[in-house]
Structure 1
Amino acid sequence: MTTATEARSGKSHRDENFPVASHLIHPRHRGAILAFYNYVRAGDDVADHTELSPERKIDLLDGLADALTGAGPDDPEAAPLRAALAARGLPPRHALELLDAFRMDARKTRYADWDELIHYCRYSAMPVGRFLLDVHGEDPAVTWGPSDAICAALQIINHLQDCAKDYRRNDRVYLPLDTLARHGASVEDLAAERASPALRAVIAALAHRTLGLLEEGRALPDLIDDTRLSLEIAAIHRLAVVLAQGLTTRDPLSEPVHHGKAAFALIALQGVVACLARRPFRRRVLALRGARP
């Protein structure tokens, strides 16, 4: 019987569309972040596995949850994160919420509207940013709101880039059904080699809404006390804006939308430089938002 370890895809943090614990992050935090990533990656691989039944996926995800909380047998996928959380006195809440998203993936393949998609992002994406902020000791009252907006945007960008692959591999469609209907597109359009004009209109509309989320989160780097984390978030935010802008005009079914290595580095650097230039004025940003300096 397949275990969570055996279900691993082989994908690592280096294969993600956005930086994960890059060297901008202080070394004292990178181990905990990578332990979190690897645990979550194991759960995501279970949810995406094409040969496991929904029931078996749920069983494996429940086992990962119990191993993390100590309610069940140890699991090698959970042990590093459990140790990292214990060392920092952090609860397992954020990791467990991500497992809730993977349980949704095991059971659910369609999303009716934008609100339903954002509800999914509440569990599949927002806990990642919240964990990152908690590891750095940032103030949740100040940072969680804009972080949630950015994380939801990152998730939706991934959905848009991978919309054809998700449909073909797992019969999973994150494009809201009401948006498809509004533009005269259908789920079956995702099977084509090239997006129809209607599907292109759907992707563009969702990309524009995603740019709105990124605007909501734009101030986050200036609200973060830890300079290195601030630069990491600024780089991610800039990469996301450029990707979302590209999705307003490009076809993810027939052409690559993700950044090449050179473009990735240049765009990230632009975000870092802009953040550094603003850093001396962050007290003004905090004052305007009513946050502590």
Structure 2
Amino acid sequence: MRSHLLRETTSDKVFDILNVIIMILVLIIVGYPMYFVVIASISDPMLVAKGEVILFPRNFITIGYKRLFNYPQILTGYKNTTIYTLVGTVIGVFLTISSGYALSRKDLLGRRFITLLFVFTLFFNGGLIPTYLLVKKLGLIDTFWAMIIPSAVGVFNVIIAKSFYEGSWVDELSDSAMIDGCGDLRFFFQIVLPLSSPLIAVMTLFYAVGKWNSFFDGLIYLRTPTKYPLQLVLRDILITGQLMLGGSMQDVGSITERLRLSELLKYSIMIVSSLPILIFYPFVQKYFTKGIMLGAIKG
């Protein structure tokens, strides 16, 4: 018996060691590219191109960030994207939670048919042209709501919310609340929402990341540069290479200097566009796995 326990203990230690090694390798594979982008954005691009920047920055410079934030549209893009993200996330999370809860209720008339309509859109959609024509018909072209309404709800997220509520505490609490005279709306706002914090955190992360990274809706529906989201502004800078300092690029003389600046901008743009989400993620990370697992298990 003792030797058997000893073998189990040894095997557990071996497993733990292998597990730690694998996790470290995964961390390096996942984390190093982001770390490299950070050090490359503050290093001499010529040394980066030669492969001399590996673990630490070389010839520390911040001209890429200075030129980037001197571009007049950057702050406007940040403001627009922040507003689009906040409003879009609030609307998306509320519609997703309410839709998922409603579809999970067994007393909903036509529940299976409505669910089928939701699921149908996962496999078939009208496509870009019909969607554009619809948005245009609704008068949303070049408006704030063009960034919110067309992508307000993700059907996959609704399915997760529906699975989260099905067969859980909802039925028991609902019956008790109804006996005490609690209506459906009061039950949803005062009982369901406070008990749905893991799901709300996960949905908030999904929608916030999607809205923050969204540029295609802006590219298709927006015409006025002052309404562009940050991603569209950064895309224009990255693709066209027309970063302006005080309205012109006349201070950049040689082709070599232009290429050098272009490389710095490439890495700086990656950091500028990703940093807010990287800061936001740790605050909801603890709910992420819990919310997804609850939705999967209850389904």
Q: TM-score, normalised by structure 2?
A: 0.30
Q: Higher relative contact order at CA 8 Å, sep ≥6: structure 1 or structure 2?
A: 2
Determine which structure has the larger helix proportion and give its number.
2
Q: Which has the larger radius of gyration?
A: 2
